Copies of this chain bind each other. A is one copy, B any other.
Protein backbone atom coordinates (compact mmCIF):
# COMPACT_ATOMS: atom_id res chain seq x y z
CA UNK A 1 0.00 0.00 0.00
CA UNK A 2 1.21 3.49 -0.81
CA UNK A 3 1.06 6.20 1.87
CA UNK A 4 -2.05 8.34 2.16
CA UNK A 5 -2.13 11.92 3.40
CA UNK A 6 -5.20 12.97 5.34
CA UNK A 7 -5.75 16.70 5.77
CA UNK A 8 -7.41 17.38 9.11
CA UNK A 9 -7.51 21.16 9.29
CA UNK A 10 -5.97 24.37 7.97
CA UNK A 11 -4.83 27.43 9.81
CA UNK A 12 -6.88 30.35 8.46
CA UNK A 13 -4.15 33.04 8.50
CA UNK A 14 -1.22 31.02 7.16
CA UNK A 15 -0.51 28.01 4.96
CA UNK A 16 -0.04 25.81 8.06
CA UNK A 17 -1.94 22.55 8.01
CA UNK A 18 -2.62 19.72 10.38
CA UNK A 19 -2.80 16.22 8.97
CA UNK A 20 -2.05 12.56 9.30
CA UNK A 21 0.09 10.30 7.16
CA UNK A 22 -0.95 6.66 6.87
CA UNK A 23 1.71 4.06 6.07
CA UNK A 24 2.08 0.28 6.14
CA UNK A 25 3.80 0.65 9.50
CA UNK A 26 1.18 2.84 11.15
CA UNK A 27 0.04 6.45 10.95
CA UNK A 28 1.64 9.59 12.28
CA UNK A 29 0.47 13.13 12.85
CA UNK A 30 1.80 16.05 10.84
CA UNK A 31 3.56 18.42 11.13
CA UNK A 32 6.18 15.99 12.43
CA UNK A 33 9.91 16.03 13.07
CA UNK A 34 11.81 12.89 12.00
CA UNK A 35 14.89 11.80 14.00
CA UNK A 36 17.75 10.66 11.77
CA UNK A 37 19.05 7.10 11.96
CA UNK A 38 21.92 7.38 9.50
CA UNK A 39 23.30 3.85 9.78
CA UNK A 40 20.05 2.04 10.59
CA UNK A 41 19.98 3.35 14.16
CA UNK A 42 19.29 6.71 15.73
CA UNK A 43 22.72 7.21 17.24
CA UNK A 44 23.02 5.75 20.79
CA UNK A 45 19.26 5.02 21.08
CA UNK A 46 17.20 1.86 20.99
CA UNK A 47 14.00 1.91 18.92
CA UNK A 48 12.03 1.94 22.18
CA UNK A 49 13.87 5.04 23.35
CA UNK A 50 13.16 6.76 20.01
CA UNK A 51 9.47 5.85 20.17
CA UNK A 52 9.22 7.03 23.78
CA UNK A 53 9.97 10.52 22.40
CA UNK A 54 6.63 10.16 20.58
CA UNK A 55 8.37 10.16 17.23
CA UNK A 56 6.15 9.09 14.36
CA UNK A 57 8.69 8.34 11.66
CA UNK A 58 12.46 8.14 11.34
CA UNK A 59 14.85 8.77 8.47
CA UNK A 60 17.72 6.56 7.37
CA UNK A 61 20.47 7.29 4.84
CA UNK A 62 20.66 5.38 1.58
CA UNK A 63 24.24 6.36 0.82
CA UNK A 64 25.49 5.09 4.18
CA UNK A 65 23.53 1.84 4.04
CA UNK A 66 24.61 1.31 0.42
CA UNK A 67 28.22 1.26 1.68
CA UNK A 68 27.58 -0.54 5.00
CA UNK A 69 26.17 -3.16 5.31
CA UNK A 70 25.01 -2.97 1.68
CA UNK A 71 21.41 -3.08 0.47
CA UNK A 72 21.56 -6.80 -0.24
CA UNK A 73 22.25 -7.60 3.41
CA UNK A 74 19.29 -5.44 4.46
CA UNK A 75 17.17 -7.05 1.76
CA UNK A 76 18.07 -10.54 2.93
CA UNK A 77 17.27 -9.50 6.52
CA UNK A 78 13.73 -8.80 5.32
CA UNK A 79 14.09 -5.05 4.79
CA UNK A 80 15.19 -2.14 6.94
CA UNK A 81 12.36 -2.43 9.50
CA UNK A 82 13.30 -6.00 10.36
CA UNK A 83 17.04 -5.38 10.08
CA UNK A 84 17.01 -2.57 12.65
CA UNK A 85 14.05 -3.81 14.74
CA UNK A 86 11.96 -0.71 14.06
CA UNK A 87 8.32 -1.37 13.25
CA UNK A 88 7.30 2.25 12.66
CA UNK A 89 7.40 4.28 9.43
CA UNK A 90 10.85 4.86 7.88
CA UNK A 91 11.83 7.33 5.17
CA UNK A 92 15.10 6.92 3.27
CA UNK A 93 16.88 9.80 1.58
CA UNK A 94 18.34 9.31 -1.91
CA UNK A 95 22.03 9.98 -1.46
CA UNK A 96 21.55 13.36 -3.17
CA UNK A 97 22.84 15.23 -0.17
CA UNK A 98 26.09 13.25 -0.32
CA UNK A 99 26.44 14.40 -3.94
CA UNK A 100 26.40 17.90 -2.53
CA UNK A 101 28.81 17.24 0.33
CA UNK A 102 31.24 14.74 -1.24
CA UNK A 103 31.33 15.45 -5.00
CA UNK A 104 32.80 18.32 -7.00
CA UNK A 105 30.64 19.97 -9.74
CA UNK A 106 32.76 18.43 -12.52
CA UNK A 107 31.95 14.98 -11.14
CA UNK A 108 28.27 15.41 -11.91
CA UNK A 109 27.30 14.00 -15.30
CA UNK A 110 23.98 13.39 -16.99
CA UNK A 111 24.28 9.72 -16.17
CA UNK A 112 25.06 10.17 -12.47
CA UNK A 113 27.61 11.36 -9.97
CA UNK A 114 31.18 10.31 -9.27
CA UNK A 115 32.47 10.83 -5.77
CA UNK A 116 34.86 9.36 -3.27
CA UNK A 117 33.78 7.15 -0.40
CA UNK A 118 34.08 9.00 2.91
CA UNK A 119 35.35 5.72 4.37
CA UNK A 120 38.27 4.74 2.17
CA UNK A 121 38.38 7.18 -0.73
CA UNK A 122 37.20 4.52 -3.17
CA UNK A 123 35.63 6.01 -6.32
CA UNK A 124 31.86 5.58 -6.32
CA UNK A 125 29.23 6.22 -8.99
CA UNK A 126 25.67 6.91 -7.97
CA UNK A 127 22.80 7.22 -10.45
CA UNK A 128 19.05 7.72 -10.08
CA UNK A 129 18.59 4.07 -10.97
CA UNK A 130 21.06 2.85 -8.34
CA UNK A 131 19.57 5.12 -5.67
CA UNK A 132 16.04 3.88 -6.35
CA UNK A 133 17.14 0.28 -6.63
CA UNK A 134 18.94 0.50 -3.28
CA UNK A 135 15.91 2.14 -1.66
CA UNK A 136 13.55 -0.45 -3.15
CA UNK A 137 15.67 -3.12 -1.50
CA UNK A 138 15.89 -1.25 1.81
CA UNK A 139 12.09 -1.34 1.66
CA UNK A 140 11.54 1.89 3.57
CA UNK A 141 8.00 3.30 3.58
CA UNK A 142 9.03 6.42 1.70
CA UNK A 143 11.87 6.66 -0.82
CA UNK A 144 13.26 9.94 -2.14
CA UNK A 145 14.12 10.82 -5.73
CA UNK A 146 17.81 11.22 -6.52
CA UNK A 147 18.55 14.92 -6.92
CA UNK A 148 21.34 17.44 -6.92
CA UNK A 149 21.31 19.72 -3.94
CA UNK A 150 22.56 22.97 -5.53
CA UNK A 151 25.16 24.93 -3.53
CA UNK A 152 24.44 28.48 -2.41
CA UNK A 153 25.08 30.83 -4.00
CA UNK A 154 24.93 29.33 -7.50
CA UNK A 155 24.80 31.10 -10.87
CA UNK A 156 21.46 31.17 -12.65
CA UNK A 157 22.91 29.11 -15.48
CA UNK A 158 24.22 26.43 -13.15
CA UNK A 159 21.01 26.32 -11.14
CA UNK A 160 18.89 26.07 -14.30
CA UNK A 161 20.94 23.25 -15.81
CA UNK A 162 21.02 21.39 -12.50
CA UNK A 163 17.29 21.83 -11.91
CA UNK A 164 16.51 20.46 -15.37
CA UNK A 165 18.85 17.52 -14.82
CA UNK A 166 17.27 16.77 -11.43
CA UNK A 167 13.90 16.60 -13.25
CA UNK A 168 15.30 14.10 -15.74
CA UNK A 169 16.77 12.11 -12.84
CA UNK A 170 13.40 12.16 -11.06
CA UNK A 171 11.74 10.75 -14.18
CA UNK A 172 14.42 8.06 -14.61
CA UNK A 173 14.08 7.09 -10.96
CA UNK A 174 10.33 6.82 -11.17
CA UNK A 175 10.63 4.69 -14.33
CA UNK A 176 12.75 2.03 -12.61
CA UNK A 177 10.94 2.23 -9.26
CA UNK A 178 9.79 -1.24 -8.34
CA UNK A 179 8.33 -1.72 -4.85
CA UNK A 180 4.58 -1.73 -4.39
CA UNK A 181 4.74 -1.28 -0.62
CA UNK A 182 6.93 1.80 -0.95
CA UNK A 183 6.03 5.40 -1.82
CA UNK A 184 8.24 7.82 -3.76
CA UNK A 185 8.68 11.54 -3.18
CA UNK A 186 9.78 14.09 -5.76
CA UNK A 187 12.14 16.91 -4.79
CA UNK A 188 11.73 20.56 -5.71
CA UNK A 189 15.04 22.28 -6.44
CA UNK A 190 15.78 25.56 -8.26
CA UNK A 191 18.29 27.19 -5.93
CA UNK A 192 17.48 30.73 -4.90
CA UNK A 193 15.65 31.58 -8.15
CA UNK A 194 11.91 32.08 -7.95
CA UNK A 195 11.20 31.12 -11.55
CA UNK A 196 13.34 27.97 -11.30
CA UNK A 197 11.56 26.93 -8.07
CA UNK A 198 8.23 27.41 -9.88
CA UNK A 199 9.45 25.47 -12.90
CA UNK A 200 10.88 22.67 -10.72
CA UNK A 201 7.73 22.37 -8.63
CA UNK A 202 5.37 22.31 -11.60
CA UNK A 203 7.43 19.82 -13.62
CA UNK A 204 8.00 17.55 -10.61
CA UNK A 205 4.26 17.50 -9.98
CA UNK A 206 3.71 16.68 -13.65
CA UNK A 207 5.87 13.56 -13.27
CA UNK A 208 3.66 12.69 -10.32
CA UNK A 209 4.81 11.48 -6.88
CA UNK A 210 3.30 10.30 -3.61
CA UNK A 211 4.68 13.34 -1.83
CA UNK A 212 6.99 16.28 -2.41
CA UNK A 213 10.06 17.61 -0.79
CA UNK A 214 11.67 21.04 -0.75
CA UNK A 215 15.38 20.55 -1.31
CA UNK A 216 18.43 22.76 -1.46
CA UNK A 217 17.84 24.74 1.73
CA UNK A 218 20.15 24.93 4.78
CA UNK A 219 23.19 25.10 2.52
CA UNK A 220 24.53 28.42 3.73
CA UNK A 221 21.79 30.84 2.63
CA UNK A 222 20.35 33.44 5.01
CA UNK A 223 17.03 32.82 6.70
CA UNK A 224 14.86 35.13 4.51
CA UNK A 225 16.27 33.40 1.40
CA UNK A 226 15.58 29.98 2.92
CA UNK A 227 11.98 30.87 3.75
CA UNK A 228 11.50 32.33 0.26
CA UNK A 229 12.87 29.11 -1.31
CA UNK A 230 10.14 27.22 0.55
CA UNK A 231 7.40 29.64 -0.52
CA UNK A 232 8.53 29.73 -4.15
CA UNK A 233 8.14 25.98 -4.52
CA UNK A 234 5.42 24.93 -2.14
CA UNK A 235 2.68 27.08 -3.69
CA UNK A 236 2.57 24.76 -6.72
CA UNK A 237 2.38 21.50 -4.78
CA UNK A 238 -0.91 19.59 -4.55
CA UNK A 239 -2.77 19.90 -1.25
CA UNK A 240 -3.53 16.19 -1.02
CA UNK A 241 0.13 15.11 -0.77
CA UNK A 242 2.61 15.51 2.11
CA UNK A 243 5.39 18.12 1.89
CA UNK A 244 8.78 17.53 3.45
CA UNK A 245 11.50 20.10 4.13
CA UNK A 246 14.79 18.23 4.04
CA UNK A 247 17.58 18.66 6.57
CA UNK A 248 15.92 21.30 8.74
CA UNK A 249 15.90 20.96 12.53
CA UNK A 250 16.38 24.44 13.95
CA UNK A 251 13.29 25.10 16.10
CA UNK A 252 12.55 28.47 14.54
CA UNK A 253 13.02 27.09 11.02
CA UNK A 254 10.57 24.31 11.84
CA UNK A 255 7.99 26.89 12.93
CA UNK A 256 8.58 28.99 9.80
CA UNK A 257 8.35 25.88 7.66
CA UNK A 258 5.06 24.78 9.21
CA UNK A 259 3.63 28.25 8.68
CA UNK A 260 4.52 27.91 4.99
CA UNK A 261 2.76 24.54 4.70
CA UNK A 262 5.48 21.96 5.48
CA UNK A 263 4.40 18.65 7.03
CA UNK A 264 7.68 16.84 7.70
CA UNK A 265 11.20 17.77 8.81
CA UNK A 266 14.41 15.86 9.51
CA UNK A 267 17.80 16.80 10.87
CA UNK A 268 20.80 15.31 12.68
CA UNK A 269 20.88 18.44 14.86
CA UNK A 270 19.23 17.03 18.04
CA UNK A 271 21.53 13.99 18.23
CA UNK A 272 24.64 15.86 17.10
CA UNK A 273 24.07 18.68 19.59
CA UNK A 274 23.53 16.04 22.27
CA UNK A 275 26.85 14.34 21.67
CA UNK A 276 28.53 17.71 22.18
CA UNK A 277 26.68 18.33 25.43
CA UNK A 278 24.06 20.75 24.14
CA UNK A 279 20.38 20.73 25.01
CA UNK A 280 17.41 22.62 23.60
CA UNK A 281 15.28 24.55 26.05
CA UNK A 282 12.43 27.00 25.49
CA UNK A 283 14.88 29.65 26.65
CA UNK A 284 17.46 28.74 24.02
CA UNK A 285 20.22 26.16 23.85
CA UNK A 286 22.37 25.38 26.88
CA UNK A 287 25.68 23.53 27.10
CA UNK A 288 25.82 21.05 29.94
CA UNK A 289 29.61 21.29 30.14
CA UNK A 290 29.20 24.70 31.73
CA UNK A 291 30.64 24.82 35.25
CA UNK A 292 27.53 26.56 36.53
CA UNK A 293 25.62 23.28 36.24
CA UNK A 294 28.03 21.35 38.49
CA UNK A 295 25.70 21.48 41.47
CA UNK A 296 22.47 22.22 39.63
CA UNK A 297 20.13 19.46 40.79
CA UNK A 298 17.21 20.50 38.57
CA UNK A 299 16.34 18.91 35.22
CA UNK A 300 17.24 20.52 31.89
CA UNK A 301 13.69 21.85 31.81
CA UNK A 302 10.89 21.54 34.32
CA UNK A 303 8.49 22.02 31.39
CA UNK A 304 9.79 18.97 29.51
CA UNK A 305 8.13 15.57 29.83
CA UNK A 306 11.00 13.49 28.41
CA UNK A 307 12.59 10.53 30.19
CA UNK A 308 15.77 12.54 30.81
CA UNK A 309 14.03 15.53 32.39
CA UNK A 310 11.86 13.26 34.53
CA UNK A 311 14.83 11.35 35.96
CA UNK A 312 18.12 13.23 35.74
CA UNK A 313 19.61 16.51 36.93
CA UNK A 314 21.85 18.91 35.05
CA UNK A 315 24.55 18.08 37.59
CA UNK A 316 24.46 14.37 36.66
CA UNK A 317 24.27 15.07 32.92
CA UNK A 318 27.22 17.45 33.22
CA UNK A 319 29.14 14.72 35.07
CA UNK A 320 28.46 12.18 32.28
CA UNK A 321 29.30 14.62 29.49
CA UNK A 322 32.52 15.88 31.07
CA UNK A 323 33.60 12.26 31.73
CA UNK A 324 32.88 11.28 28.09
CA UNK A 325 30.35 8.69 29.22
CA UNK A 326 28.18 7.97 26.18
CA UNK A 327 25.08 7.66 28.38
CA UNK A 328 25.27 11.46 28.55
CA UNK A 329 24.82 11.68 24.78
CA UNK A 330 22.01 9.14 24.96
CA UNK A 331 20.13 11.10 27.61
CA UNK A 332 20.61 14.44 25.82
CA UNK A 333 19.58 12.88 22.49
CA UNK A 334 16.35 11.72 24.09
CA UNK A 335 15.75 15.23 25.42
CA UNK A 336 16.59 17.03 22.17
CA UNK A 337 14.52 14.71 19.99
CA UNK A 338 11.61 14.99 22.38
CA UNK A 339 12.02 18.78 22.33
CA UNK A 340 11.58 18.98 18.55
CA UNK A 341 8.73 16.45 18.51
CA UNK A 342 7.00 18.32 21.32
CA UNK A 343 7.47 21.49 19.25
CA UNK A 344 5.59 19.88 16.37
CA UNK A 345 2.92 18.69 18.82
CA UNK A 346 2.51 22.27 20.05
CA UNK A 347 2.38 23.50 16.45
CA UNK A 348 -0.35 20.97 15.66
CA UNK A 349 -2.32 22.22 18.62
CA UNK A 350 -1.75 25.83 17.54
CA UNK A 351 -3.10 25.01 14.07
CA UNK A 352 -6.16 23.36 15.59
CA UNK A 353 -6.69 26.43 17.75
CA UNK A 354 -5.95 28.73 14.82
CA UNK A 355 -3.33 30.76 16.66
CA UNK A 356 -0.03 29.71 15.10
CA UNK A 357 1.19 33.28 14.50
CA UNK A 358 0.77 34.05 18.19
CA UNK A 359 2.55 30.80 19.01
CA UNK A 360 5.46 31.77 16.77
CA UNK A 361 5.78 35.19 18.37
CA UNK A 362 5.78 33.82 21.90
CA UNK A 363 8.20 31.03 21.05
CA UNK A 364 10.71 33.24 19.27
CA UNK A 365 10.62 36.00 21.88
CA UNK A 366 11.49 33.56 24.61
CA UNK A 367 13.91 31.35 22.64
CA UNK A 368 15.93 34.20 21.18
CA UNK A 369 16.12 36.21 24.39
CA UNK A 370 18.55 33.70 25.90
CA UNK A 371 20.33 32.24 22.84
CA UNK A 372 23.31 34.41 22.16
Contact = CB atoms under 8 A, between A and B. Distances in A.
Interface of A: 39-41, 43-46, 68-69, 73, 76-78, 83-85, 294-295, 297, 311-313, 315-316, 318-320, 322-323, 325-327, 329-331
A320 B76 contact: no
Contacts of A331: 46
B294 A43 contact: no
How many copies of this chain? 2
B68 A323 contact: yes
A44 B320 CA distance: 10
Given A39-B323, A46-B327, A326-B329, 7 more contacts: A40-B319, A43-B327, A44-B327, A68-B323, A77-B297, A85-B311, A85-B312
A44 B319 contact: no
Nearest to A310: B85
Contacts of A323: 39, 68
A40 B325 CA distance: 10
B325 A41 contact: yes
Given A85-B316, A315-B83, A316-B84, A43 B325 contact: yes
B297 A76 contact: yes
A315 B69 contact: yes
A315 B77 contact: yes
Given A68-B319, A316-B83, A326 B44 contact: yes
Contacts of A73: 294-295, 315, 319
A193 B264 CA distance: 70
Nearest to A119: B323
A294 B322 CA distance: 35
Contacts of A297: 76-78
Nearest to A42: B327
25 contacts: A39-B319, A39-B323, A40-B316, A40-B319, A40-B320, A41-B320, A41-B327, A43-B325, A43-B326, A44-B44, A44-B326, A44-B327, A46-B331, A69-B318, A73-B294, A73-B319, A76-B297, A77-B297, A77-B315, A77-B316, A78-B297, A83-B313, A85-B311, A85-B316, A330-B330
